[in-house]
Amino acid sequence: MFVSDVSVAARGRWQSIFSSVGIDVPAQGKHSPCPICGGDDRFHFDDQDGRGTSYCRGCDKGRDGLTLVMDAKNISVTEAAKMVSEAMGQNTTSGALTVKQHGNQANAEAERLANSVVWGESDYLKSKGIDSGFHTLASNCTTMIAGMLFESGSLYLPVYSADNLDTLVGAQLINNKGEKAFLKGTKKKGSICQIKNGDDIKYVVIGEGLATVLTGSLLLGCDGIVAFDAGNLPVVASQIKKMYPSSCLVWLGDRDKNSKGYNKASEAAEIAGGIVLMPDFNQDQYGDWNDYHQLHGDDNTREKMISLLEQKESELKHDLDTKRCVISELDNDTNSYVVDITKHDEENLIFKLAKSIANAAKFPEQTTALCTLAIFSSAASSCYAVDYQDGEPLSIGLYVAAEQPAGTAKSRVIKTSRTPVQKEFYKATCKANEAIEEQAEQDENTGTHEPLTMFVTNATSASLDGLLRKNNGFFNIASAEQGAVSSVLGASHEGAGDNDVLLSAFTGTDYVNSLRASRDGYAGMPWGSITVLAQDGTINTILDKTGSQGIAERFLMLAEPSYIGKRDFSVSNSIDHALLDAYTSLVGDMATLNTALSPSSISELKRLQICLSGWECISDYRNNVEPLLADGQKYSHAILRGAFSKCDIQIMKIAALLHLASGKDDSVLIGGNTVKAAIGIVNELLLNLYNILEAKGIVGMKAEYIAILKVFDRQSQRTERQIIQSRGRVEPFSSLNNKSDAIRNAINEMISAGLLAKVKDGNGVHQIVPAS
């Protein structure tokens, strides 16, 4: 527990701690060289919630304070905790417990006792064969719970909510007789006690009671999680996986007569993955891993645990190889979809310029086209909006995320279309200010314009709020680094990003209030665009961080095969400067219009309308898609359903951009052919989104089959009912309204395909088994 206690005690003190241990960091919210990899301004110290958080573009890594000390000093987490503790002037051997004060009545007793806790030996742990200190009540502390006396030396287990380790929800006490009790008001369900123990993150052990977890934690040299009872294991499983995403979760099941310990540990493993480890007793023996340890000692128990882990890992690898064969067969039956958005409007200026940029950079053309269109939307959305049929305005800024590996000239592609926008908007502001200054003598109240900050390449919560205030709610993020999207989504550090802002800004008509007690925020109706062309993993970041929050479905995503290994550098192509000049002139006109309008919301922008035939085309497309959104249909997954449900918004945005890039900016009416081209582009990208999710095993036949095959990891046969009950909690079925029918249909398909078989067991009960 020492490491986590130090982290809590260091809250709000990291600036002075870093100074004490010789690590140079900038003031909060500022940039500087990275203490690990150097550079000039790649390191950003934001100190969110006082946890010493930071992000480095060079390392492409977010860190909390303790992790920064570990990496900067190249030491273990325990050594870093000791260094931090000494910097704070703490006694590193006292083990005094610090908890975040909440003032909640239900937690008041837990907080009071925490102030009287010391690190000491426990007669109870000694009786369990555990020679380790723990948090115990001090000599001056005694309490009674339900007629049981807890005096000096009784163990104190702080109970925290599994989804927020800052939230103390009570405590469990264990006296020297082994009697256990929770303080009144303690919320056990969904709560845990975390035991930090060493630097090994390969495994994390999770069990019901303290003695079981400490046994596994000490023998394997890893962290442990106490869930307090078997029923709580599946409840906290998903949150524990988020706490330890790269670790193997080891579920230490108790061997009970009614098999509850095994069943609940298995249920938790099905939810979060990992290995169920049961103590190897004789057939008529029952107990937990601590009971086994008392019978067999340290070395034999450790050897047994490691042997079982290696056996289980080998079995999982074999199962994974088998599943890969099945997946490979499924892949061979799936036609790959090649995206071609430019064919829908080949003569459009944006697509012609994109083709020239792609040829010059030896870069995939469709990715270039989508990113160039998104950069163009940053200029267009500053002065134009498109109306719904009822006259409500819609921002035409796009959210785009594309992937290409390192060394493919991503920065060049982004920079080529971004630079003219930056220069023209700056020029327009300067020109407007010159005209204002000429009138200054006649009108003393005349004020100059402040240049728009057209692009940021990396935006934390604080910096995005500042940009929104400066630009009256308008923002654009454009970068060739994954850190741009990681920072704004909160994926580069623990805590939340600006998801409310991004959700609202997509349409430009939703109010958001991000005012914070700790800093100035933003209140208003933001709008803007996001263009991220970064390394592999960018799309995963968006899906993993925001898939259930509605942001992923707002992005147009593309991951084309790269040209690496196929480029011919003996042939040099230059960008068509006539096209680049036309593009520069077009965004220059938009910069001038923006300066004249000086808008504070999209209702003040110049408005475009879609013609009647265009609306009819949009309605026809939506009607064709609608049946596929129903439960069990192709686009029933939450992300796909959200994306296809917003197809009209994406069509409106792209139709407006194609219209403006065609040189018809003098006309506010968008023609039917332009709308048809936009429908074709959106359809290509939405079909591509389905392929991306299918390839990642999130949707489709492959995802369903994998989810069902996984149920046989720990048991060779299951009834149909057991499979339905188990798989209804996991993707791709968990987001469906009628999960049972979808799972039942998938089982029948797999039986027909020869992947599963239906047999009768010795009791005549039908069982489902993997086909041999």
Which is more confident, 27 or 678? 678
Mean pLDDT within 243-250: 87
Q: What share of the chain is helix, strand, coil (3-state, %, to 5)?
A: 45, 15, 35
- Asked whether the beta carbons of 468 and 476 are under 8 A apart, the reply is no
Q: Which pairs count as long-range contacts for 166-172, CB under 8 Å and 24+ apart, including other chains? A: 166/49, 166/100, 167/102, 168/99, 168/100, 168/102, 168/107, 168/110, 168/111, 168/114, 169/106, 169/107, 169/110, 170/106, 170/107, 170/110, 171/109, 171/110, 171/113, 171/114, 172/228
**Can you tell me the distance from the alpha carbon of 534 to that of 542, in angstroms, rounded to the nearest whole number?**
12
- Asked whether the beta carbons of 90 and 120 are under 8 A apart, the reply is no
For the ranges 116-130, 412-426, 429-443, 497-511, the maximum mean pLDDT occurs at 412-426
Output the six-digit token pair for 166: 């800052």
Residue 228 has pLDDT above 70, yes or no: yes
Whether pTM exceeds 0.75 = no
* Amino acid 378: pLDDT: 95
Residue type, 713: D
* Amino acid 88: pLDDT: 72
Output the six-digit token pair for 589: 């006109």
Residue 721 has pLDDT above 90, yes or no: no
Residue that the structure tokens 């987001």 belong to: 735
* Amino acid 301: pLDDT: 93
CATH 1.10.10.10 fits 700-770, yes or no: yes
For the ranges 67-71, 341-345, 510-514, the maximum mean pLDDT occurs at 341-345
Residue 748 has pLDDT above 80, yes or no: yes
**Can you tell me the distance from the alpha carbon of 349 to that of 757, in angstroms, rounded to the nearest whole number?**
57
Q: Is the peptide bond before 732 cis (omega within 30 degrees of 0)?
A: yes
* Amino acid 61: pLDDT: 86
Q: Indicate the pLDDT class of residue 333, thresholds 50, 70 and 90.
A: very low
Q: How far is CA 134 from CA 93, 96, 275, in A?
A: 12, 10, 27
Q: Indicate the pLDDT class of residue 496, thresholds 50, 70 and 90.
A: very low
CATH 3.40.50 fits 346-437+445-564+575-695, yes or no: yes
* Amino acid 103: pLDDT: 41
Look at strands 61-63 and 54-56 and give their pairing: antiparallel
Q: Indicate the pLDDT class of residue 414, thresholds 50, 70 and 90.
A: very high
Residue 8 has pLDDT above 60, yes or no: yes
139-153, 485-499, 678-692: which has the minimum mean pLDDT?
485-499
Residue 31 has pLDDT above 50, yes or no: yes
Q: Nearest Cα to 290, choosing from 208, 233, 221, 172?
A: 208
Which is more confident, 582 or 715? 582
Q: Nearest Cα to 301, choosing from 283, 315, 287?
A: 287
DSSP state of 455: -
**Can you tell me the distance from the alpha carbon of 119 to that of 125, in angstroms, rounded to the nearest whole number?**
13
Mean pLDDT within 619-628: 92
Specify the length of the chain in residues: 772
Residue 53 has pLDDT above 50, yes or no: yes
Q: Nearest Cα to 667, choosing from 384, 379, 280, 355?
A: 384
Q: How far is CA 79 from CA 6, 96, 360, 626, in A?
A: 11, 18, 51, 58
Residue 486 has pLDDT above 80, yes or no: no
Residue 497 has pLDDT above 90, yes or no: no
Mean pLDDT within 646-673: 90
CA atoms in the 13 A half-sphere facing the CB of 36: 22
Secondary-structure class of domain 105-319 per CATH: alpha beta
Residue 93 has pLDDT above 50, yes or no: no
CATH 3.40.50 domain range(s) in the chain: 346-437+445-564+575-695
Mean pLDDT for all residues in the chain: 83
Q: Indicate the pLDDT class of residue 139, thresholds 50, 70 and 90.
A: confident
CATH 3.40.1360.10 domain range(s) in the chain: 105-319
Strand partners, 193: 226
pLDDT tens digits for range 524-544: 899 999 999 988 878 887 877
Output the six-digit token pair for 192: 């845990």
**Can you tell me the distance from the alpha carbon of 168 to that of 155, in angstroms, rounded to the nearest whole number?**
17
Task: Count, in order, helices (H) and strands (E) of the chain.
Answer: 25, 28
For the ranges 121-135, 184-198, 432-446, 672-686, the maximum mean pLDDT occurs at 672-686
Which is more confident, 727 or 514? 727
Cβ neighbours of residue 578 under 8 Å, at least 6 residues apart?
Answer: none
SS3 192: strand
- 600 alpha carbon, distance to own chain's centre: 31
**Can you tell me the distance from the alpha carbon of 317 to that of 306, in angstroms, rounded to the nearest whole number?**
16
Q: Indicate the pLDDT class of residue 143, thresholds 50, 70 and 90.
A: confident
CATH 3.30.980 fits 2-87, yes or no: no
CATH 3.90.580 domain range(s) in the chain: 2-87
Strand partners, 168: 160
Which is more confident, 424 or 467? 424
Q: How far is CA 507 from CA 396, 399, 529, in A?
A: 8, 11, 10
**Can you tell me the distance from the alpha carbon of 214 to that of 228, in angstroms, rounded to the nearest whole number?**
13
* Amino acid 100: pLDDT: 46
